[in-house]
Amino acid sequence: MFGGAGMTVLAVPGITNLRDVGGIPAGSSRIREGVLFRSGNLAKAGPEAHAFLTGSVAHIVDLRDDSEALAEPCAVAGLRIARVPLFAGSVASFLLGDISLGGLYRHIVDDGSDRIVQVLRIIAAGEPTLVHCTLGKDRTGVSVALALAAVGADREAIVADYALTASQLPESRNRAIAKWLEERLPVAQNAIALATESPAPVMRALLADLEQRHGSVADYLRGAGLTRAELDDLGAALVE
């Protein structure tokens, strides 16, 4: 394992892009360790992953849509899993529509705010929670960033946690996807970035946009239905 900007990357065979965001600075304190984890999907989770999940995680939040979950179901039995599909649409539709990463994230926060609130309510319950999608990049990245921003985590540490994902994706996988996209969607300018990248400026811009339009990330979440008491619970769960 190794850390960066406070978070810790965990090397558990069968789980890609796994990390604990604990340790990220939050005001005069920091994010509590062992409470909020993030990763890619759990379809290839074997005995070591099972041991980690059953020993360290109480609740799993799966942000994928029905087709994704059916194609690559969770390989660990007996876990509490909440399905909260975060896209109003499919992954394929965004690739075909040639949407940019920034446009995708704007879509998530504008059209999926009620589902983001569902995710944050689960985290606010205070049980160790793992949030994941297919890669742990976009839906997971946005959800975790908003949870951290809502409780006052350091902005650049949030951005660094999001940006770290690109380095956690296997290079062989990225090359194969880039080749596939170049052959099948040659006019799609944003498809490869959408599938492989997590640039810091994109997350920085998303958080700034929410602040400009809503006042703060916490105000955005309150407008989406998260109560002040639930925000307090989220802070109590996440901040030491």
Taking 90 as the threshold, does the pLDDT of residue 207 lie above it? Answer: yes
Q: What pLDDT does residue 78 have?
A: 83
Task: Inform me whether the pLDDT recorded for 239 exceeds 70.
Answer: yes
* CA 81 centroid distance within chain: 16
Q: Which domains does the chain have, with CATH numbers?
A: 2-232 (3.90.190.10)
Most confident by average pLDDT, 2-16, 60-74, 78-92, 168-182: 60-74
Write the pLDDT tens digit of every residue in 91-137.
Answer: 666 666 678 899 999 999 999 999 999 999 999 999 999 999 988 99
Residue 160 vs residues 18, 60, 147, 188, 192: alpha-carbon distances, Å:
15, 23, 15, 27, 21
| pLDDT tier for residue 55 given thresholds of 50, 70 and 90 | very high
Give the pLDDT confidence of 157-172 residue by residue, as tens digits: 999 999 999 999 877 7
Side-chain-facing half-sphere of 144: CA atoms under 13 Å: 36
pLDDT value of residue 45 = 94
